[in-house]
A and B are shown apart, each in its own frame.
Chain A
């Protein structure tokens, strides 16, 4: 009889718990009451409690780590927790395509919202493993035009920009991919991005392709152009820190690096390292939500919607230098910093925007060829 009662009570508790989590997830009860009620049910078995930690009271964001962990928490996490009572936790291990696929394959999704490369939203979306975004919750007006995809929406923007050591080129500044390739006029070692984004485009532009005729990229032609420059490339940087180091220590005189790093470099060298958006390549990052995410689809959508807030977007710009995904945020940026915004209309006009659609279809095969060339 004792055993039977126990099973009954476990069932009952489980049921109570489910109701509780669902209501908490739906925002019907605040976090404090949820915790209180959950405490009453604290005799639930350990396994269930483990699940409780996974669902309901927290939302997990996957990003690329480093300073971005704290910055995401400040810019997005705190607002969301204030709005919903749901704690935001950030996993900075880096949501590479393989890592996302592993999670989906294992059937144990632990990320609710993923800061992924834009092409992945399209590619994984086609495979049917992502939640379609709920544009009743997410506001299309708060997304730059063309970035409200079915399975993802821009979280922020960043650029690959041409940065150079102004002490080495005092007469004339390199401004374009053609200058980057011109080793006679601008001698010195270069550095390029190891994971290819933007580099093929730079090569093609340097080779005379018109910006509007870039896509679909002619990979072979781009690679041939890169091979030409390869003896002058000191290093293919794989991390932001690496690119910064190369220019800072004078190992490279010129490089295609992230604008966020370029901003830091300018600051740290009192503008000896100069850069601009001219000849740069604009890229977006995308919020995606894998199907079966632990906090539920609704919470993920609410987080994405909350992150669109112009103040949050400006906060992220302040902390990391990422361009706001919400166009209304541009106006909130202080005047002296407006020029740093990679996605302002002026900056956008100077740059080529990378085509997420092209990368969705071609990234893997092109990257393999690119890396084969790099490591030849």
Chain B
């Protein structure tokens, strides 16, 4: 993906050094976590000779983990899709319309981001309990309700990410397209969105991660019908932290690594085929 291998803005030694140190920093707690998942104890701890696979076994034999992973995945995908759609539409709107009114709208939209998640939790709790009678499918302790809350929380972050990328697009390409007779929608779909694709992907990824990890609000708007993975993990803030969580982390990390490896392999294969042809 190297943008321009011949350019002079290749990173220098200083920046490389910073990067390697930062990478070490990012990976450090990880190195501590992998052994923890193999502890033989029933609580989080570094194994001292008592290595065991019992927490991986627990993941397989106890359906609640698998169920909550499936549920969280579904909720995160749905929330990311909706949040990205909202963010892209609104971001484009802001890009086109720049006046006092749109600035005010923007300030309004960032409200959920500025509020600490605990405050959002209580706000959404009151909102969603009031929906129990009118619209239970997006009310308290429903999957729809969790998606709704996650969209509220994640959209502003997705919006910032998308706007970063939008702001770097040269307005003249839009004007040129429109000057050549493209409609607003044609210009958006053919010119602007393709140019902002990194921003859209980042925004969607962000929204996905935020929903996947969300606990503060989820803890408060669910009870026992909807148990997301973080909620399953947090069942018991006052109580035990189950080492199975470490095992889940290790599995997810392995899947990520396999995913990237698989992609690279596929690319490499494709390149070879292209070369051969």
Shortest CB distance B135–A (Å) = 9
Question: Is the C-beta of A196 less than 8 angstroms from some C-beta in chain B?
Answer: no
Say whether B125 contacts A106, CB under 8 Å: yes
The verdict on A69 contacting B140 (CB below 8 Å), with A60-B223, A106-B130, A248-B45 known, is no
Cα(A110)–Cα(B139), bound, Å = 13
The verdict on A241 contacting B140 (CB below 8 Å), with A47-B133, A90-B224, A106-B130 known, is no
Say whether B140 contacts A110, CB under 8 Å: yes
Which of these binds chain B: A91-99, A126-134, A368-376? A91-99
* Interface size counted on chain B using CB atoms at 8 A: 27
Question: Is the C-beta of B250 less than 8 angstroms from some C-beta in chain A?
Answer: no
Question: Is the C-beta of A102 less than 8 angstroms from some C-beta in chain B?
Answer: yes
Shortest CB distance B62–A (Å) = 11
Cα(A110)–Cα(B128), bound, Å = 13
Question: Is the C-beta of B43 less than 8 angstroms from some C-beta in chain A?
Answer: yes
Question: Is the C-beta of A239 less than 8 angstroms from some C-beta in chain B?
Answer: yes
Say whether A64 contacts B136, CB under 8 Å: no
Encoded as 1 (CB less than 8 Å from any A CB) or 0, chain B from 233 to 252 comes to: 01111111100000000000
Say whether A47 contacts B238, CB under 8 Å: no
Cα(A238)–Cα(B125), bound, Å = 24
Chain A residues, Cβ within 8 Å of B141: 110
The verdict on A91 contacting B44 (CB below 8 Å), with A65-B236, A239-B239 known, is no
* Interface size counted on chain A using CB atoms at 8 A: 32
Shortest CB distance A215–B (Å) = 26
Shortest CB distance B222–A (Å) = 8
Chain B residues, Cβ within 8 Å of A93: 219-220, 222-223, 235
Chain A residues, Cβ within 8 Å of B237: 64-65, 94, 238-239
Q: Which residue of chain B lies nearest to A109 when distances are taken between CB atoms in the complex?
A: B129
Chain B residues, Cβ within 8 Å of A102: 122, 125-126, 220
Cα(A46)–Cα(B137), bound, Å = 10
Say whether A91 contacts B240, CB under 8 Å: no
Question: Is the C-beta of A187 less than 8 angstroms from some C-beta in chain B?
Answer: no
Partner of B43, one of A91, A105, A245: A245
Say whether B140 contacts A64, CB under 8 Å: no
The verdict on A241 contacting B239 (CB below 8 Å), with A102-B122, A106-B130 known, is yes
Say whether A64 contacts B236, CB under 8 Å: yes
Question: Is the C-beta of B132 less than 8 angstroms from some C-beta in chain A?
Answer: yes
Say whether B41 contacts A268, CB under 8 Å: yes
Shortest CB distance B127–A (Å) = 10
Say whether A65 contacts B238, CB under 8 Å: yes
Shortest CB distance B238–A (Å) = 5
Shortest CB distance A59–B (Å) = 12
Cα(A113)–Cα(B134), bound, Å = 26
Shortest CB distance B124–A (Å) = 11
Say whether B44 contacts A65, CB under 8 Å: no
Cα(A105)–Cα(B125), bound, Å = 11
Encoded as 1 (CB less than 8 Å from any B CB) or 0, chain A from 149 to 161 comes to: 0000000000000
Shortest CB distance A266–B (Å) = 14
Encoded as 1 (CB less than 8 Å from any A CB) or 0, chain B from 113 to 155 comes to: 0000000001001100110110010001100000000000000
Shortest CB distance B144–A (Å) = 12
Shortest CB distance B227–A (Å) = 10
Chain B residues, Cβ within 8 Å of A60: 223-224
Chain B residues, Cβ within 8 Å of A240: 238-240
Question: Is the C-beta of A146 less than 8 angstroms from some C-beta in chain B?
Answer: no
Shortest CB distance A102–B (Å) = 6
Encoded as 1 (CB less than 8 Å from any A CB) or 0, chain B from 41 to 66 comes to: 10111000000000000000000000
Encoded as 1 (CB less than 8 Å from any B CB) or 0, chain A from 243 to 259 comes to: 01100110000000000
Question: Is the C-beta of A50 less than 8 angstroms from some C-beta in chain B?
Answer: yes
Shortest CB distance B118–A (Å) = 10
Say whether A65 contacts B241, CB under 8 Å: no
Say whether B220 contacts A66, CB under 8 Å: no
Q: Which residue of chain A lies nearest to B219 when distances are taken between CB atoms in the complex?
A: A93
Shortest CB distance A159–B (Å) = 15
Say whether B238 contacts A94, CB under 8 Å: yes
Question: Is the C-beta of A302 less than 8 angstroms from some C-beta in chain B?
Answer: no
Partner of A239, one of B125, B132, B238: B238
Q: Which residue of chain A lies nearest to B122 when distances are taken between CB atoms in the complex?
A: A102
Shortest CB distance A74–B (Å) = 16
Say whether A91 contacts B223, CB under 8 Å: yes
Cα(A68)–Cα(B240), bound, Å = 10
Question: Is the C-beta of A185 less than 8 angstroms from some C-beta in chain B?
Answer: no
Shortest CB distance A55–B (Å) = 12
Partner of A106, one of B126, B136, B238: B126
Encoded as 1 (CB less than 8 Å from any B CB) or 0, chain A from 39 to 73 comes to: 00000001100100000000010001111110000
Cα(A371)–Cα(B125), bound, Å = 26
Cα(A64)–Cα(B44), bound, Å = 19
Q: Which residue of chain A lies nearest to B234 when distances are taken between CB atoms in the complex?
A: A65
Shortest CB distance A157–B (Å) = 16
Say whether A89 contacts B239, CB under 8 Å: no
Say whether B130 contacts A110, CB under 8 Å: no
Ranked nearest first, the 5 interchain pairs of A and B with the lowest CB-CB distance are: A66-B239, A66-B236, A65-B236, A108-B129, A106-B129
Identify the B interface with A (CB < 8 A): 41, 43-45, 122, 125-126, 129-130, 132-133, 136, 140-141, 219-220, 222-224, 234-241
Offer 13 A-B interface pairs, CB within 8 angstroms, sorted by A.
Answer: A46-B136, A50-B136, A60-B224, A65-B234, A66-B235, A67-B239, A89-B224, A92-B235, A108-B129, A110-B140, A240-B240, A244-B43, A268-B41
Q: A66-B236, A102-B126 are in contact. List 11 more A-B contacts (CB 8 A).
A: A65-B238, A67-B236, A92-B236, A93-B235, A105-B126, A110-B141, A238-B237, A239-B239, A239-B241, A241-B239, A241-B240
